[in-house]
Chains A and B, each alone.
Chain A
């Protein structure tokens, strides 16, 4: 197992960028074992032999033309298919832009700034909230109110504070 691993490391070293060095541990094993030494030599010989490029058959000069002819035909075929899709996408985008434009033009005017809200309205709203709190405490049955009395008191307190704050900030 150890020998196999060392052989694997020796082979891997040949695939490192620039033919990296064999790891030290593997180097020690190679030094101590004739079989590994033999493997290292034979693998290196194979490596050198494979680096001599084989004689490969070259294609004739018409290969390029035939490839480009088929590629152009493929491009021409796919172009009409893409055109309707592009046209549809463009029309959809244009419609969406037009719809947004119309909506912007037709939508009701945005509410004016908070300063424009009349003070009387604010005061009336605060008064209504206060009245509602008082009304609740009177109308809700005591059986329901009793377990929640503390919470009701807190809510009532908060409402009063809020009302005071609202009234205080009014000019």
Chain B
């Protein structure tokens, strides 16, 4: 049996139980399974690979320290993502700009790069979701579609009730449907000439 087969035979919860018994090797297997997933989750928040890396590392260290509190009869992934989510929030708060700093830049719709980004948005539902949905809604759909969690697990990961998660998912879909609809209508319209080119024609 090679290492991959061995990894597949043990459930996350069995590995967590072994970790509770003091096995660092079992925890390392969990790290192998989840490091890229947690990193991808953190990247949606932090955007910066260095920050996402730090959040991922902090998440696993915290998980290792708190593994004795995990109820191994419940799924491991929602518990881990709950920690990751909290670490993302902590990281965000720690680096939030102070009040005396200038507000974030508003998009310049005369900027060709911005126009290009908007064009790419039209082609990518996930990009639109990240750009337009509030963090809570984006997390919920990330856990639902990328992590393929069910509603009870999402509720555990987000520290919310199941009905609250259902409402969040409903609102996220509704908002996305509206945005996609609008993007589709814009895409069907005749594209206006880029402002810089239009100006270039004048003497």
Contacts and interface: CB of A to CB of B under 8 A. Distances in A.
B151 A15 contact: yes
18 contacts: A7-B170, A11-B173, A45-B177, A47-B173, A50-B126, A50-B144, A54-B124, A57-B49, A59-B36, A63-B39, A64-B31, A64-B35, A68-B28, A70-B57, A71-B27, A71-B28, A74-B64, A75-B24
B125 A12 contact: no
A47 B141 CA distance: 10
Interface in B11-44: 24, 27-28, 31-32, 35-36, 39-40, 43
Given A52-B125, A68-B28, A15 B166 contact: yes
Interface of A: 7-8, 11-12, 14-15, 17, 39, 42-43, 45-47, 49-54, 56-59, 63-64, 66-68, 70-72, 74-75, 78
A11 B166 contact: yes
Contacts of B36: 58-59
Contact of B145 (A12, A42, A50): A50
A50 B170 contact: no
Contacts of B144: 15, 50
A78 B65 contact: yes
B61 A50 contact: no
A23 B1 CA distance: 47
A56 B37 CA distance: 9
Contacts, number: 105
Given A46-B180, A50-B141, A71-B31, 9 more contacts: A39-B174, A46-B125, A57-B40, A58-B39, A59-B36, A66-B53, A66-B57, A71-B60, A71-B61
Given A8-B170, A17-B150, A68-B28, A51 B57 contact: no
A51 to B, nearest CB: 6
B177 A50 contact: no
B40 A46 contact: no
A67 B57 contact: yes
Nearest to A71: B64
B7 interface: no
B174 A7 contact: yes
Contacts of B170: 7-8, 11-12
A12 B52 CA distance: 32
